[in-house]
Amino acid sequence: MDLRHFYPRAWVLVGVVALVSNPSRGEVALSSAPLTLGATDASVLAAEPFYNPFGTKLPRIVSGYGKRQVPPQLKALVVSSGAAVLPVLPETHDGLDYAAFPGSAVRASRSGKVIFAGFSKMYVSRQDKTQQHRLVIIRHADGQSSRYVHLSALRVRPGQDVQRGQVLGVLSESDEWTEPVLHFEIRDIRGQTIDPSKVIVASDNAETGKTL
């Protein structure tokens, strides 16, 4: 007896499941669609806090959010005709700089979807403006996003869902500060920066990592 004459819809459903579960259909395509949540998960994910991006309890912050003074050795010398060095002006810092050894694992501060992973003209070397730095941007369930800058050996790709604590890449050398740092940002749904130190909670699980 051919069951397809009696249960045509069931066979269609089996075909759809087989198509979706076929791993040979290629990598995940980049999607700009908003995140969707199940009715039972929405309140849980929306309330998920931000943790520091190393998973350790006390990573060292060497440069805070807001206006900051740049150390003279990092500022290109600008001299007048009288050979007088102009004063170093404060600059706006849109996040936190965490000190860490190059090669330290950088982790997702919160669960979400990777919407960018690669080089960006927004973050370049102080000395060589053509040298772009790698970063990862994650969009979270409530529309906020987090940025992780000065990375190498990326472990994620655009369109990928990540969980809090998942490794995104490792820290690289940079001339952003007087020592190697991870630049970490949090932005609201409008793209405006938020002081991460006001929203990050203490880690409840000290992961292994070579943070200072």
Using one digit for the tens of pLDDT, what is the confidence trace for 60-71? 898 889 887 777
Classify residue 21: in a domain, yes or no: no
The total domain count for the chain is 1
CA distance 141 to 112: 6
CA distance 143 to 26: 28
Using one digit for the tens of pLDDT, what is the confidence trace for 34-70? 444 443 344 444 479 999 999 877 788 988 898 877 7
Classify residue 106: in a domain, yes or no: yes
- CATH number at 63 reads 2.70.70.10
CA distance 115 to 175: 26
CA distance 138 to 54: 15
Classify residue 32: in a domain, yes or no: no
Side-chain half-sphere exposure of 85, counting CA atoms within 13 A: 8
More confident: 12 or 159: 159
Cβ atoms of residues 86 and 79 within 8 Å: yes
Residue range of the domain that includes 46: 42-201
pTM: 0.68
Indicate the SS3 state at residue 39: coil
Q: Which residue has the tokens 């002081």?
A: 195
